[in-house]
Amino acid sequence: MPQSPPSFGGAVPSKRLSRLWHLGRATGDLAAGIGVKGLIDLARARGTGQSARIQLSPEHTRRFTDRLAHMRGAVMKMGQLMSMDGSDIFTPEAAEIMGALRDRAQSMPMSQLARVLEAEYGAHWDKRFKRFEFTPIASASIGQVHRAETRDGRRLALKIQFPGVRESIDSDIDNLAFLGRSLGMAPKGLDIGPFLDEARRQLHREADYAAEAEALDAYRAWVGEDPDFLIPGVHRDLTTHNILAMDFADGVPLDRLAGPEYRRAERDRAATLLMRLSLRELFEFGLVQTDPNFGNYLYNAASGRIALLDFGATKSVAPALVESYRQLARSAIANDRAGMRAASVALGYVGENDPGEHIDAMMDLLQMASEPLRQAGHYDFGLSDLFERVYHQGRDMFHSGVFSTAPAPETMFLHRKFMGSFMLSRRLRARVELSEIARACI
**Which range is least confidently modeled, 26-30, 191-195, 296-300, 407-411?**
26-30
Q: Which of 415, 311, 400, 428 is nearest to 369 (CA)?
A: 415
Residue 321 clears pLDDT 80, i.e. is over it:
yes
- What one-letter code names the amino acid at 303? S
- Of 291, 360, 364, 385, the active-site residue reads 291
3 state SS of 437? helix
Q: In whole angstroms, what is the distance from residue 120 CA to residue 360 CA?
A: 56
Number of separate helices (H) and strands (E) present in the chain: 17, 13
Residue 12 clears pLDDT 80, i.e. is over it:
no
Other C-beta atoms lying within 10 Å of the C-beta of residue 338: 9
In eight-state DSSP terms, residue 176 is H
Query: What are the start-end ranges of the H helices in 85-208?
Result: 86-89, 92-100, 110-121, 165-182, 193-206
> What would you report as the CA-atom Rg of the chain, rounded to the nearest whole angstrom?
22
Distances (CA, A) of 170 to 116, 186, 252, 311, 413: 22, 20, 34, 21, 19
Condensed to tens digits (0 to 9), the pLDDT of residues 163-184 reads 888 877 777 777 666 665 655 5
pLDDT-derived band at 89, boundaries 50, 70, 90: very low
pLDDT-derived band at 71, boundaries 50, 70, 90: low
**Which range is least confidently modeled, 41-55, 66-80, 127-141, 400-414?**
41-55
Q: In whole angstroms, what is the distance from residue 140 CA to residue 299 CA?
A: 19
Q: Which of 307, 304, 262 is nearest to 289 (CA)?
A: 307
Q: What is the pLDDT of residue 15?
A: 52
- Is 72 within 8 Å of 81 (Cβ atoms)? no
Distances (CA, A) of 183 to 40, 44, 236, 243: 10, 11, 45, 37
Contacts of 430 (CB under 8 A, 6+ apart): 267, 268, 270, 271, 272, 381, 382
Q: In whole angstroms, what is the distance from residue 53 CA to residue 36 CA?
A: 14
3 state SS of 69? helix
Q: What average pLDDT does the segment 254-278 reach?
A: 95
| Average pLDDT of the residues of the chain | 80
Residue 413 clears pLDDT 80, i.e. is over it:
yes
Q: What average pLDDT does the segment 399-428 reach?
A: 81
Q: What is the pLDDT of residue 204?
A: 86
Work out the angle at residue 437's Cα, subtended by the Cα atoms of residues 435 and 441, and round it to the nearest 5 degrees: 115
pTM of the predicted model as reported, rounded to 2 decimal places: 0.78
- For residue 236, report the phi and psi dihedrals to the nearest 5 degrees: -65, -30
Distances (CA, A) of 266 to 84, 262, 326: 25, 7, 30
Between 47 and 311, name the one with better pLDDT: 311
Q: Is 291 a catalytic residue?
A: yes
Condensed to tens digits (0 to 9), the pLDDT of residues 200-220 reads 888 888 889 999 999 999 999
